[in-house]
Amino acid sequence: MTTLRFRVDPNSLDSPESHKAIEQAARILRSGGLVALPTETVYGLGANALDPDAVARIFAAKGRPAWDPVIVHIAEESMLGELATELPEAARKLIAAFWPGPLTLLLPRSPRIPDAVTAGRPLVGIRMPAHPVALELIRCAGIPVAAPSANVFGHTSPTTAAHVLHDLDRRIDAILDAGPTRHGVESTVLDPTQSPMVIYRPGAVTLEQIRAAAGPAELFKTDKPLSAEPPEAMPSPGVGIRHYAPRARLFLIDAPFSSLPRSLSDAATLHLKDRVGLLLPAELTRDAHLIRLRAEIFPWGRWSVPAELAHNLYAGLRALDSLGCTVILCPLPPAEGIGAALRDRLHKAAAQ
């Protein structure tokens, strides 16, 4: 299989080139094929969400196990009617506040949803992405699009078309290349049918924002250890499993910002026989302790601007992998705001 690469300028969707590329991708989706598409979070691997055979191709291309559900993407609220049987009042408030945007709602599934989409569970994850190319593709295809991240299962999520092709070239039909994604971490996944509501996966829409818009909510907690093969279907994508992992071993440094230089330096000395990579906050790139280290450094972004860290996280892990690092050291940001999403992804990426 040859993977076609269609380039689209998200700022010029009316151009003949963009129109042709999106129409070609839409035809592939309608015919049961696989198309990687940009969203505001990461690139997703899309298929017709109502076609069981097409959804099965997602799992085959990614090497994704059947117990891990996938999210369905829509372009209009009117599409909810064929996907969900109920829309709680809390969900209505959240849709008004955050759609289009990086918020996935777990809703009672309609009979039209194939079991593979939900891993046989009664709730289906639905979101409306805030990316003009994704929205136009879904509208043009005229179908809801199931789309987990467009990478090999368990590995670092893709934030550029090049990342997608590195993992899935010749495994999928096409990719719509619209440049780097904006947020860089996956959507928040929330169950609004419970009281309080439960966030199964933190993301760019924060716990604080959800509470302000729709009432009581809490983060999902489990005492079960992270593993590669949970024994049953998971309630949400990315819950309780090793995920988002680079090839290198990832070690997390949980320390106050003022002591990070010394903590990172001490950690690096424990791996003198390894090729060490550092995800380094911009404020520390000139620190004397770290300059002396024989390590590959990826300038992660400003520690004081967690959105920059989120935007660059997966790109940084992939860059250090590409440099041949066998160990990556990464500081853990504070848990406030999008920092909760960063800590979630990093803990799952570092799980052994």
Q: What digits encode the pLDDT tens for the residues 256-272?
A: 999 999 999 999 999 99
Q: Per-residue pLDDT tens for 32-41?
A: 999 999 999 9
Can you give the pLDDT at residue 145? 98
Decide the pairing of beta strands 295-301 and 276-281.
parallel
Angle at 135 (CA atoms; ends 130, 141), nearest 5 degrees: 160
What's the Cα-to-Cα distance from 250 to each of 100, 146, 256, 262, 277, rounded to whole Å?
Answer: 33, 30, 19, 18, 9
Can you give the pLDDT at residue 234? 60
Cα distance between the two ends of the chain? 34
Contact status, residue 95 vs residue 74, Cβ threshold 8 Å: no
Listed range (21-30, 135-144, 238-247, 270-279) with the worst mean pLDDT: 238-247
Contact status, residue 251 vs residue 349, Cβ threshold 8 Å: no
CA distance 75 to 71: 13
Neighbours of 286 (CB within 10 A): 8
Residue 18 in this model has a pLDDT that exceeds 60: yes
Comparing CA positions, the residue from 73, 247, 233, 59 lying closest to residue 153 is 59
Can you give the pLDDT at residue 82? 95
pLDDT band at 225; cut points 50, 70, 90: low
- Interval 170-196 mean pLDDT: 97
Which letter does DSSP use for residue 257 in this model? G
Unique residue bearing structure tokens 């003009």: 132
Can you give the pLDDT at residue 238? 57
Can you give the pLDDT at residue 242? 67
- Interval 177-206 mean pLDDT: 97
Can you give the pLDDT at residue 221? 84
